[in-house]
Chains A and B, each alone.
Chain A
Amino acid sequence: MSYTYLFIAGAIAAASVFAILAFYWAAKHGHLQNVESGAKIIFDDGEPIGQATDAFPGHQPGTLTKLRR
């Protein structure tokens, strides 16, 4: 039974350890720096900022000028 408790403690501790390791990795690789620029990476030339995209591919919904950037 003692092994079971060790297993439980290990499983719970593993969550925190993985979270801390992931946080360390993110910080080390610069993912926590200049974060505001990261918000723009989902846009590109084909689907730029200011263009609505709830549209069929290849067609624009014609609301570009109605949206606030």
Chain B
Amino acid sequence: MSPAVADLPSKPSLLESISPTSVEPVEDKAERVEIDRAMRGPVLLFFGAAIAWLLIGSLFALLTSLKFNLPDFIADYAPMTFGRVRPAHLNSVIYGWSAQAAVGVGLWLMARLCRVAVRHGGILYAAWALYNFGVLLGVLGILSGAGSSVEYLEFPRWASVVIFAAFALIAIWTVIMFRFRKPGHVYVSQWFILAAFFWFPWLYATANLIIFFLPVQAAVQGPVNWWFGHNVLGLFFTPIGLAAAYYLIPKVIGRPVHSYYLSILGFWSLAFFYSWNGMHHLIGGPFPAWMISASVVASFMMVVPVVTTGINHHFTMKGNFGALRWSPTLRFTVFGAVAYTLASLQGSSMAIRSWNQITHFTHYTIGHAHLGMYGFFTMVMFGSIYYIVPRLVEWEWPSASLIRWHFWLSAVGVAVMFASLSVAGLMQGWALENPDIPFLASTNFTLPFLWMRSVSGIMMTAGHVAFAASFALIMLKAGTRHTRPTLLANPDEAAA
């Protein structure tokens, strides 16, 4: 332990943390190791649980996808029917995998960037236990038929209370760390994380309160639903994904962000514009025209943070794209950053009323959602975990081959899924617009593409199994201890 860390009170009271009288940063030389060791327990628990939910969610996804082509497949057992398995998939991967990976990455980044000794780790252990209990309750609630029909909020209300309590603990810990940070500049990733951990409990509590606990009129529940549904993507998952990308890309290649000014502009424009976006899901619905129009405008204002981020990442990487051949972290993260630009610009285009009329209520929207949540967010989380875990475990990834398989199965899988669902959605949308085409025909057009979706899902699930195997092996410290990082290729050969 470094002298500076040893000087800190070993267990400051919560009151002392909320109102600190002094900030004692750890020494530069030892701070990374000290912070990583302090964060090891909670971050690895969040990652481990996230990966377990990823596997469970993937199985629900496969079952859901197969039921499109084989509607009688396990159809006689109520918990495994489409109406329950589909929300079980969505909520397993959103709250079980994505949110927990986001929390693990966000907590580690916050600790690293605050550069002070970690305190009150017990809060995080309690939050982890509570959170996973909530997700388990929620998924079992959905399978037992107690779930709601509100998208992204299908968990029964008793589970949502537990999840909110867990997230409140995470938010409290984050605020304490931020309050105690080493004096100096607040890095852009800290802004994103702090905002995300504030936004999520606020969005989740507000939406649950006014849809389930103090329900507003039915007509108002639609806007509340999509205010939450879209914001949880844009004001929680997106900031965490961008926080990771803005830290990892410069760190891996050893080069500062191309334009830090643009990154700051990107954060504040996201903060100001995004919360209006959700109403574009209700184009054509029985809602005030001004509300929809404001959302369409805000959707296009999102081009500002998206383009600034895309330009910034591209010019930060410029000249170093060769590093994608050897760095696992960079390969996943840059894939995710490119998908972020594509998914966001596609999302803005889908707010155009005439285009929305074609794509809404079709598989096109599902393809878009997977490009954003998987192509962007999940891939960045994979890259982050590949960077963080060896530093926590003090052991290297045991197999470059498993990482390679993971990358290609996930990347090709999500690309095939996006392409097949986009084509299927457009055919479906144009068919629905044509009064000469019977409704049944509009769904029959899509059947071959839905088989492709299932195949792509099998590829992605296989990738997840490779990822889980890597995680299990590194946790067991399997194999011989490497003296070099696990890279995908020899950097010297890759550069030649």
- A contacts, CB < 8 Å to B: 1, 4-5, 7-8, 11-12, 14-16, 18-19, 22-23, 26, 31-32, 35-57, 59, 61-64, 66-69
Count B interface residues, CB 8 Å.
Answer: 65
- Contact (A8, B202) CB under 8 Å given A57-B390, A62-B491: no
Q: Which residue of A lies closest to B322 (CB)?
A: A66
**Contacting residues of chain B (190-204) with chain A, CB-CB under 8 angstroms:** 191, 195, 198-199, 202
Main DSSP-derived SS at the B contact region? helix
B11 interface residue, CB < 8 Å from A? no
B354 interface residue, CB < 8 Å from A? no
Contact B247 A54 (CB under 8 A): no
Contact B29 A14 (CB under 8 A): no
**Nearest Cβ on chain A to B199's Cβ, whole angstroms:** 8
Which of B254-262, B302-310, B366-374 lies on the face that meets chain A? Answer: B254-262
Contact B268 A23 (CB under 8 A): yes
**Nearest Cβ on chain B to A62's Cβ, whole angstroms:** 6
B260: chain A residues within 8 A (beta carbon): 35-39
A18: chain B residues within 8 A (beta carbon): 198
B158 interface residue, CB < 8 Å from A? no
- Contact (A39, B272) CB under 8 Å given A14-B202, A63-B491: no
Main DSSP-derived SS at the A contact region? loop
A15: chain B residues within 8 A (beta carbon): 199, 202, 275
B152 interface residue, CB < 8 Å from A? no
**Nearest Cβ on chain B to A41's Cβ, whole angstroms:** 5
B436 interface residue, CB < 8 Å from A? no
Contact B487 A61 (CB under 8 A): yes
Q: A49 to B251, alpha carbons, bound, how many Å?
A: 8
Q: A51 to B185, alpha carbons, bound, how many Å?
A: 22
- Contact (A61, B257) CB under 8 Å given A8-B224, A23-B268, A42-B113: no
Contact B254 A44 (CB under 8 A): no
B391: chain A residues within 8 A (beta carbon): 57
B396: chain A residues within 8 A (beta carbon): 56
B289 interface residue, CB < 8 Å from A? no
Contact B492 A62 (CB under 8 A): yes
B188: chain A residues within 8 A (beta carbon): 38
**Nearest Cβ on chain B to A10's Cβ, whole angstroms:** 10
Q: A51 to B256, alpha carbons, bound, how many Å?
A: 11
B172 interface residue, CB < 8 Å from A? no
- Contact (A61, B251) CB under 8 Å given A8-B220, A15-B202, A54-B328: no
A53: chain B residues within 8 A (beta carbon): 251-252, 254
Which of B64-72, B454-462, B478-486 lies on the face that meets chain A? Answer: B478-486
Contact B254 A67 (CB under 8 A): yes
- Leading 4 A-B pairs by shortest Cβ distance: A39-B260, A39-B256, A68-B319, A55-B485
Contact among A36, A51, A56 for B485, CB-based, below 8 A: A56
